[in-house]
């Protein structure tokens, strides 16, 4: 997590296959200069997380949902964006199609 003091805008950076959270950070760090807070995490079976086999985004989309809900419950959030490359893009699209429509992201 990289925080911008007093910012209520967030972006979650998702990494690609065989990468880790630092690649996700590299892909969204330019948004820090635009006032966004940044959150990145190691996808399932990548980096320092547990697991032997990746499912290319299905499990990570559930983790992404948990991260978004944690942000909303922990901080005052006005805006959340998700940016992913490769497997991270698959994760974000699966999340948008199958999970986001089932939860309330505002209010």
Q: How confident is the model at residue 3 (pLDDT cuts 50, 70, 90)?
A: very high
Q: pLDDT grade, residue 107 (50/70/90)?
A: very low
User: Phi then psi for 53, rounded to 5 degrees?
Assistant: -130, 140
Per the structure block, which two tokens stand in for 82?
Answer: 């998700």
* pTM, two decimal places: 0.84
Q: Which of residues 43 and 11 earns the better pLDDT score?
A: 11
CB 40 within 8 A of CB 13: yes
pLDDT digits (tens, 9 = 90+) for 50-60: 667 777 778 88
Across the range 56-73, mean pLDDT stands at 88
| Strands (DSSP E) found in the chain | 9-14, 37-40, 79-84
């Amino acid at each position: 997590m990289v925080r911008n003091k007093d910012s209520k805008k967030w972006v979650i950076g998702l990494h690609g296959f065989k990468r880790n959270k630092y690649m996700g950070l590299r892909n969204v760090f330019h948004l820090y200069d635009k006032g966004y807070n940044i959150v990145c995490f190691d996808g399932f079976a990548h980096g320092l997380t547990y697991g032997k086999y990746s499912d290319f985004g299905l499990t990570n989309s559930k983790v992404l949902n948990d991260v978004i809900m944690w942000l909303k419950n922990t901080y005052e959030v006005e805006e959340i964006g998700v940016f992913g490359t490769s497997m991270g893009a698959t994760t974000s699209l699966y999340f948008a199609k199958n999970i986001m429509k089932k939860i309330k992201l505002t209010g």
